[in-house]
Structure 1
Amino acid sequence: MTYNENEGCCKQKSSYRESYSSQAVDKDGKIFNVEIQRADKGAVAERARFNSSIIDANQLKKKQTYTDLKESYVIFFTENDVLGGNKPIYHVERVIQEMGTLFNDGEHIIYVNGSYEADTPLERLIHDFKCTDPKDMYYKELANRVRYFKETEEGVAAMSNAMEIMRNEAQYNARLEDLHRLVFAKKIDSFDEAKDFYPSIKDEDIQEIFDAFHIISSKLVKEYED
């Protein structure tokens, strides 16, 4: 499995300061977008939809068809029980309501409830994500990584640099999400119009948003026709 730390599904860091994101691809091409969210607002349903849509938009190259899309997983580790069901983990899937069966479109959304307490491997992992002292962690892999960033000169420098990058990009990503919202609300209809409103946003990022919009629109039309 390959991964990029601090990399969101749109090749960008999260715009929320209370979050950390990472993306990985396994040997079968399945894509995993993972976010650790401390703020409830960062794990709303629309955020999951946004991440899934951009993952799809980034996958397809020229001459590829929709059947070439790989399975994708958007996973939120949340500090609170955002969905309110008092469950340790929630699996969100599209369902054909009239048949009571899964739609099986390859998109998966998972919420891991960080406030749930139980003595299980999952809850021990959640504990380690919230823990700040590596001596108190269950999993040595995470403990060693935290120790590197907190207790070595090289790690501290790397973390300081990462925080500076996150601060510098937060404003850019906020504008990017504003543009995404306006495009999906059909208030901005073209690339040129988007560029006029947001001249500082990179051309490729604008194009990714419009590509995601067209993919989602095509899916909705196909679902309606079927």
Structure 2
Amino acid sequence: MTDYNDQHYQEIMQRIRGLRLIDDVFMTVCFDGNIEGAQLLLSIILDRDDLTVTEVKAQKVMKNLKGRDVWLDILATDKEGALYNVEVQRADAGADKKRARYHSSMLDSNMLAHGEEWADIRESYVIFITENDVLGLNKPIYHIDRYISECDYLPFNDGEHIIYVNGAMKGSDTALAKLMSDFFCTEAKDMNYKALSEKVRYFKESEKGVERMFDSLEDMRNEVWNESKNATRIETALKMLAGGKLSLEDIASYSGLPLDKVRELAEAKTA
């Protein structure tokens, strides 16, 4: 039974009240499966009225054979099969240009099934919504596409698109500025778009919504704790490997890591 007077519970509830869509943990919960909200978001950012979103998933994992997987905040698909990865970033470092390139490449690498042709690669969009103007050019939105520089910057039209939305520019009366204003609201009553405000209200004001949000924050807290604990175990194992006196089995036992992970560390050390 939940103790509503418990200090930890009160701290989590205070955090829920302060969450905004620009906070990734809240954004992913509000947009997961929210086709109406995703369609509104993408239609405004892309300035299109012909977009039909068919699927929206939050925290989608895309695998890399070399081990550098990516967790996508939002992955949406439209009726033409185009993919849209939307990321919210409060820290400038999280919206690095190379990261946008990497996300784009991961979309491509996961798009083709065995036997499909290169021509079957569909349009892809990586969209970073940032709290600050990370590109520093004082524009509300930046569209990054490939061009042929020797031909008066003729569009290359390879279907890859990277977009940065500057959340710092939200004071005007445009649809994009109103959207960005919604991303920084803590209360549903202050928002412009119903498709977004209804979700915010649900996860902040309804019993079931708050319960789910509470669980999401607890899961994130536990994940951070486990990652920290695992990092400590790896550090311990590396020190034991450097000593060269213990067997891999003993190192696994003392560090608390699986034997396969210790073998992986040992192989990396000698590579």
What TM-score do the two structures reach when normalised by structure 2?
0.58
1:13 counterpart (56, 71, 75): 71
Q: CA RMSD in A?
A: 2.7
Counterpart secondary structure, 1:90:
strand
**Residue 12 of structure 1, CA deviation:** 5.5
**Residue 127 of structure 1, CA deviation:** 0.3
Structure 2 distance, partners of 1:66, 1:154, is 45
Q: Give the match for residue 83 of structure 1.
A: 135
> Is 1:48–1:109's contact at 8 Å kept on the other side of the alignment?
yes
Q: Give the match for residue 196 of structure 1.
A: 264
Q: Give the match for residue 209 of structure 2.
A: 155
**Residue 136 of structure 1, CA deviation:** 0.6
Q: Give the match for residue 70 of structure 1.
A: 122
Structure 1 distance, partners of 2:207, 2:125, is 35
Q: Give the match for residue 3 of structure 1.
A: 56
Structure 2 distance, partners of 1:52, 1:167, is 29
Residue deviations 1:145-188, cap 9 Å, x none?
0011111121112112223444455649xx9xxxxxxxxxxxxx
* Residues 1:79 and 1:9: Cα distance change in structure 2 (over 3 Å): farther
1:42 counterpart (74, 94, 115): 94
Structure 2 distance, partners of 1:35, 1:122, is 16
Q: Give the match for residue 122 of structure 1.
A: 176
* Residues 1:154 and 1:87: Cα distance change in structure 2 (over 3 Å): same
Residue deviations 1:84-139, cap 9 Å, x none?
11111100011222122111111000111111131111100000011111111111
> Is 1:52–1:74's contact at 8 Å kept on the other side of the alignment?
yes
Q: Give the match for residue 207 of structure 1.
A: none
State the number of aligned residues: 174
* Residues 1:47 and 1:61: Cα distance change in structure 2 (over 3 Å): same
Q: Give the match for residue 165 of structure 2.
A: 112
Q: Give the match for residue 236 of structure 2.
A: none
Amino acid paired to 1:47 = R
Structure 1 distance, partners of 2:213, 2:85, is 21
Report sequence identity in percent.
Answer: 49
Structure 2 distance, partners of 1:92, 1:3, is 23
What TM-score do the two structures reach when normalised by structure 1?
0.69
Counterpart secondary structure, 2:209:
helix
Residue deviations 1:186-213, cap 9 Å, x none?
xxxxxxxxx93599xxxxxxxxxxxxxx
> Is 1:9–1:51's contact at 8 Å kept on the other side of the alignment?
no
Stretches of 4+ moved more than 6 A in 1?
Answer: none
More relative contact order, 1 or 2 (CA 8 Å, 6+ apart): 1
Give 5+ residue unaligned stretches, structure 2.
1-52, 64-68, 232-262
* Residues 1:198 and 1:132: Cα distance change in structure 2 (over 3 Å): farther
